A and B are shown apart, each in its own frame.
Chain A
């Protein structure tokens, strides 16, 4: 075991893993986090706290993690390179580990142009792959990127994200391979709507033997409306939503029910894709639906370990 996190144990046991996202609030109020943690407890193996996602200022991912841990659930914190140089990244990794946070997802980060502090100066000392490499070296060798020896290095389970739907498509598996080489233990994909394209991606992942080296969590997003489907299709860079899905949502009598049904079908399908070791549910601003989806997808109860 690298970190001994619950998520790592689920993967190591060979069980199909479930993670879900919790978006921290745009305020100093811990209440929404506690509320979501209580509501989702038991429906996923670990919960992903986003790090100022889309560059919108939110309660920090590390603080959010500590708040949800009090409710007895396990966090995965995201850590982006947009707002931190190598000093802050390594320092926050120490801090997170000291607070008992065992899973860290390394991300380059959305550009500040998407957020609510557009005139900000960004950092990007590292990108996500360099971040992984540096964190991996820290935990394996107890050595900082600058060479300093660390006596009690963090023991962290390292994650990454990959988007099979970004261009150039033919390079995406190579990029995943780089993340594996840099030390990633698990990978969470961009939300999958185009199954054909995703299967092609996974074929190549398997042919390169990467499914044996990294645990892939396939991303899904339950949609509430046709508007949400259209928005993701047209407005989110690097996201592919086939027309059939937009139409299906548009023609549905009860779009919310349809969204849930669709998400469950997607999960059922993803369970059959070789090399997919779990799902990551991103119910943005619809967290309360997660327990229902997990249950209906036949993924309950979640495994427990001694």
Chain B
């Protein structure tokens, strides 16, 4: 899932300070699960902002809202009146939610309340770790199911580097060296021959390096006729 962190309270307060009516909109998907921007976090932020305003004598109105999935237009539509009825929207979804609202209502100002970070996995209560950076050409079948692009600090294809000590990464001694982990995994799978061979240069054009990506499923797209029908219903 997408893992995000709320921005510091002061930064948010400063961002929204010039606006009178603020709609704060959370999301019930990834960011709710990672405890950053679900219903509870939206309410907590709004009360914190109110307390801060009271102390500092600022007069602002906040409305706490939450949608099912903020990255999908259909769900955002449900709060359209609230969005347009405010002077600014603070999105407590990941940046995809914030940009969905922004793209739907271009003359309305939408700010991000979260810092969107990683495609991550909950390791334990309150801990998420990055396991993919969306390179667009997955190779983990050759690396024991462990992604070296996201989990190695140098995205090496032929690791581990010379800084791996005690199977930890030289960049952060609390983090496992991805390539040590790959070695261990391939060893227990009896597939060590995979890292005896040189892995050649990677084609990064499928990653963000190739420019903004759009994925299209032709078979899932609506025909012009179906589109018209859908619009008519809405």
B-binding residues in A (CB < 8 A): 81-82, 86, 108-111, 113, 122, 124-130, 133-134, 145, 161-163, 165-168, 171, 174-175, 177-178, 181-182, 190, 237-239
Instruction: List, in ascending order, chain A residues with CB within 8 A of B198's CB.
Output: 129-130, 133, 178, 181-182
Asked whether, in the complex, the Cβ of A167 is within 8 Å of the Cβ of B158, the reply is no
Instruction: List, in ascending order, chain A residues with CB within 8 A of B156's CB.
Output: 108, 124, 127
Q: Which of B75-83, B98-106, B164-172 contacts A (4 or more CB under 8 A)?
A: B164-172
Asked whether, in the complex, the Cβ of B165 is within 8 Å of the Cβ of A108, the reply is no
| Residue in contact with B171 in the complex, picked from A113, A130, A134, A163, CB distance below 8 Å | A113
Asked whether, in the complex, the Cβ of A130 is within 8 Å of the Cβ of B201, the reply is yes
Interface bits B191-233 vs A (CB < 8 Å: 1, else 0): 0000111111110100000000000000000000000000000
Shortest Cβ distance from A239 into B: residue:
B165
Given A110-B163, A166-B165: A127 and B184 interface contact (C-beta under 8 Å) = no
Main secondary structure of the interface of B (DSSP, over half): loop
Instruction: List, in ascending order, chain B residues with CB within 8 A of A111's CB.
Output: 153-154, 163, 170-171
Asked whether, in the complex, the Cβ of A178 is within 8 Å of the Cβ of B158, the reply is yes
Q: Give, as a whole number of angstroms, the nearest-CB distance from B124 to chain A.
A: 24
Residue from B154, B159, B197 whose CB has the most chain A CB atoms within 10 Å = B154
By Cβ-Cβ distance, the 10 closest A-B pairs, closest first, are A163-B162, A237-B170, A129-B158, A237-B163, A127-B156, A111-B171, A238-B163, A166-B164, A237-B165, A238-B165
Given A111-B171, A178-B198: A166 and B154 interface contact (C-beta under 8 Å) = no
Asked whether, in the complex, the Cβ of A122 is within 8 Å of the Cβ of B200, the reply is no
Instruction: List, in ascending order, chain A residues with CB within 8 A of B158's CB.
Output: 127-130, 175, 178
Does any Cβ of A come within 8 Å of B161's Cβ? yes
Interface bits B115-139 vs A (CB < 8 Å: 1, else 0): 0000000000000000000000000
